[in-house]
Amino acid sequence: MSEPTRPPSDLDQLADRFVDEYAADQPTVATYIGVPGHDDEWPDLTPDGHAATAELLRRTVAAVERTDPAERRDDVARSAMLERLGAELALHEAGLTSSSLNTIASPLQDFRSTFDLMPAETDEDWATIARRLTALPAALAGYRQGLRAAADAGHVSAARQVRLAAGIARRWAGTPEKPGFYAQFVGRAEVGNGVRADLDRGAEATARALVEFADAVERELLPGAPERDGVGRERYALESRYHAGIDLDLDETYAWGWDELARIVAEKETVAERIAPGQGIAGAMAALDADPARQVRGREALQEWLQGTADRAMAALDGVHFDIPAPIKRIEGRLTPTSGEGVYYTGPTEDFSRPGRMWWSLPEGVSDMTTWRETTTVFHEGVPGHHLQIAQTVYNAALLNRWQRLLCWCSGHGEGWALYAERLMGELGHLEDPGDRLGMLDAQELRAARVVLDIGVHLDLPIPAGRAAGDRWTYDVALDFLRSHVNMEDAMRVDELHRYLGWPGQAPVYKVGERVWLTCREEAQRRGGDEFDLKAWHRTALDLGPLGLAPLAAELARM
């Protein structure tokens, strides 16, 4: 971490206090960002717990509003805090936080993924894990209580999400014939008998609690859960505002998404012709899949390929297109222990003792991969994507307060940058191989398809003539649409669709955020003319720290 260059301002001190308060309120977030002291705890997801979180946000927003910025960087931090904390508070006040239950990003997932980030080397590490496991059944019961109260108030997830989430809980619980995640997780611990007994008891109690949770949410939530997947314009606008950090013109964005999808498909056709002349996109992809040089077989080989690709990108960019501080040069590529979690990044701890990590989740029973699809994703998750952006933010104590470095996140900013990073690597010559280029365009097509599907389904917008197998969005039409535009196993397409249905407003912000980054760069190039320095622009833009897209665009307009 770089050293601060000035005494902390009033806003800095407020932000620092809030990090500690929020970490205590949300222990899973504390683990994620590496704040110690809460490693055997869980959030209070009861109605009282949600009310306490909302009050913490409300009190902090009011305190930020009363501060007088000491200098320009405080202006940026103040704008970021008011926008981000205000957007989170709005979700609480609308009942959307207390009712959160879905297949991809609800408190349920934290009850599993948090263990991926916990140290698991020593007896002491495993004793902490055992205490957290022991506390998990009570935390699940509190979560269930909060969901039930939210449902009584009229806030409940769609029936499909309830059923799917219950299925996830049962899968993690396992059966005597097929042990679940927790039994497998503690089974690898090499510890003394006392810790071993605590781990086994904790895993068994957690498995029982998960089954009870699954049964309970089906019994208690399904009677009032809507069968319709779409959430409607009012809720969607609120969720979109949180994920994007800007009030989108949803109808304009929907129309733009269709145009962007058509542009990408046309470029894919051009690149496919270079790979397999006359065979079309499908033929080119088949040729790439059959190429032995593009295949990685086995989990160990896959992890080695991920690590090597990330390290090579780091070496190629450092000192040429970006100046990368030493602590950030360490990144780890890892495979998740369970399937169905997608690909994601977790940032480093504040002291960099835990590095930034890229995580790949393979489908059940799959251990092989073709690299032409994944090269661009390494750039997205690693450098110059999430790792450069997030790890440099953590490092940058000289310019950013602790909240900006550890807690601030806006998907539109972060995912937009990572998608922009993929395109940037093409511009910088790192996707000259036509297979890797097709992989980047394939990923872009997925993100453009997300824009139109996500907005279209949730707002029940009409489908332009001839663009899908129907004129209105239904589950079957949406899945058929993904089959036309997303090149992956069908089970993964289904998982993708379930993600969009259960997490409204998040999927479009990749392309929306990229659009903002590209537009702001083009405007800066026009202003700078021949003196425009891309490397300097990137450095200054990232030094702003995370922002919602609206304040980001305002700040970049000053550059």
Show me where the domains of the chain are located.
10-228, 242-510
The DSSP symbol for 505 reads: T
> Euclidean distance between the first and final Cα of the chain, in Å?
26
Residue 370 token pair = 């073709």
Q: pTM of this prediction?
A: 0.93
d(Cα 121, Cα 453) in Å, to the nearest integer? 44
Predicted pLDDT at 83: 97
Contact 499, 507 (CB under 8 A): yes
CA distance 181 to 419: 32
- The C-alpha angle 18, 19, 23, rounded to 5 degrees, equals 115
- Structure-token pair, residue 146: 């909060």
Inter-CA distances, 1 with 74, 275, 292, 384, Å = 19, 45, 43, 19
Give burial (CB, 10 Å; 0-12/13-18/19+) of 36: exposed
**Tally of CB atoms within 10 A around 278:** 7
**Distance (Å, whole) CA 157 – CA 161:** 6
As a whole number of Å, the CA-based R_g of the chain is: 23
Q: Does a cis peptide bond (omega within 30 degrees of 0) precede residue 384? A: yes
At 66, the amino acid letter reads R
CB 385 within 8 A of CB 443: no
Ramachandran category for residue 80: left, alpha or beta (phi over 0 → left; psi -120 to 50 → alpha): alpha
What is the helix (H) or strand (E) element at residue 344, kind and residue range?
Answer: strand 343-346
Distance CA 284, CA 436 (A): 12
What pLDDT tens digit does each residue of the chain (559 aa) get? Answer: 666 666 899 999 999 999 999 999 999 999 999 999 999 999 999 999 999 999 999 999 999 999 999 899 999 999 999 999 999 999 999 999 999 999 999 999 999 999 999 999 999 999 999 999 999 999 999 999 999 999 999 999 999 999 999 999 999 999 989 999 999 999 999 999 999 999 999 999 999 999 999 999 999 999 999 999 999 999 999 999 999 999 999 999 999 999 999 999 999 999 999 999 999 999 999 999 999 999 999 888 999 999 999 999 999 999 999 999 999 999 999 988 766 667 889 999 989 999 999 998 877 777 788 999 999 999 999 999 999 999 999 999 889 999 999 999 999 999 999 999 999 999 999 999 999 999 999 999 999 999 999 999 999 999 999 898 889 999 999 999 999 998 888 888 999 999 999 999 999 999 999 999 999 999 999 999 999 999 999 999 999 999 999 999 999 999 8
Element (H, E) at 280: helix 280-290
In 3D, which of 124, 137, 116 has the Cα closest to residue 42?
A: 137
How far is it, in rounded angstroms, from Cα 11 to Cα 401? 8
Parallel, antiparallel, or unpaired for β 343-346 and 356-360?
A: antiparallel
| Interstrand relation of 356-360 and 331-335 (parallel, antiparallel or unpaired) | parallel
Among 288, 555, 517, 486, which Cα is nearest to 384's?
A: 517
CA distances from 352 to 60, 253, 417 (A): 28, 39, 22
Q: How buried is residue 54: exposed, middle or buried, by Cβ count under 10 Å (0-12/13-18/19+)?
A: middle
What pLDDT does 3 receive? 63
CA distance 507 to 486: 14
DSSP one-letter code for 360: E
The type of residue at 330 is R
Q: What is the pLDDT of residue 4?
A: 64
